[in-house]
Structure 1
Amino acid sequence: MPRQPVYEQVIDDVIRSIQSGTLQPGDKLPSIAELCEQYRASATPIRLALRILDERGWIEVHQGKGSFVAPNPPA
């Protein structure tokens, strides 16, 4: 089975963490640099994952501050 793209892995992991309660509304996600290290990936797929999570309402990205779990993430 082919491995899923890094950005999909990041999306799945973040959603799982929010659904399980590991990440709570308002929690700060690791920085792009930390996520790059964690997933052994360049910043491009990490940024893509964060943008998709933001568009879907799971997180809020604040320029210069970081990414945070949305106050009311999807059920």
Structure 2
Amino acid sequence: MPRQPVYEQVIADVIASIKSGTLQPGDKLPSITELCGQYRASATPIRFALRILDERGWIEVHQGKGSFVAAEPPS
């Protein structure tokens, strides 16, 4: 079975953490550097995953501050 691309894995993990309540609205996500280490990936797929999560309303990205769980993520 082929491994899923890193960005899809990050998206799935973040959504699962929000749905399970591990990540609450307003919680700060790990930094891009921390996520790179966690997923053993470069910053490019991590940034791509965060951008998709932002576009889909799961998180809010604040330049220079980081990424946070949206106040009202999709259900």
TM-score (structure 1 length as normaliser): 1.00
Identify the residue that residue 72 of structure 2 maps to in structure 1. 72
Paired residue type of 2:40: R
Identify the residue that residue 29 of structure 1 maps to in structure 2. 29
Alignment of 1:17 onto 2:17: yes
Equivalent residues, number: 75
The SS at the match of 1:24 is coil
Aligned residues: CA RMSD: 0.1
* Shift in Å, 1:35: 0.0
Paired residue type of 2:71: P
* Shift in Å, 1:36: 0.1
**Fraction of identical pairs, as percent:** 88
Identify the residue that residue 40 of structure 2 maps to in structure 1. 40
Give me the whole-angstrom Cα distance separating, in 1, the residues matched to 2:51 and 2:2.
24
* Runs (5+) with no aligned partner, structure 1: none
Displacement over 2 Å in runs of 4+: none
Identify the residue that residue 53 of structure 1 maps to in structure 2. 53
Give me the whole-angstrom Cα distance separating, in 2, the residues matched to 1:12 and 1:60.
16
TM-score (structure 2 length as normaliser): 1.00
* Shift in Å, 1:71: 0.1
Paired residue type of 1:37: G
Give me the whole-angstrom Cα distance separating, in 2, the residues matched to 1:7 and 1:27.
20
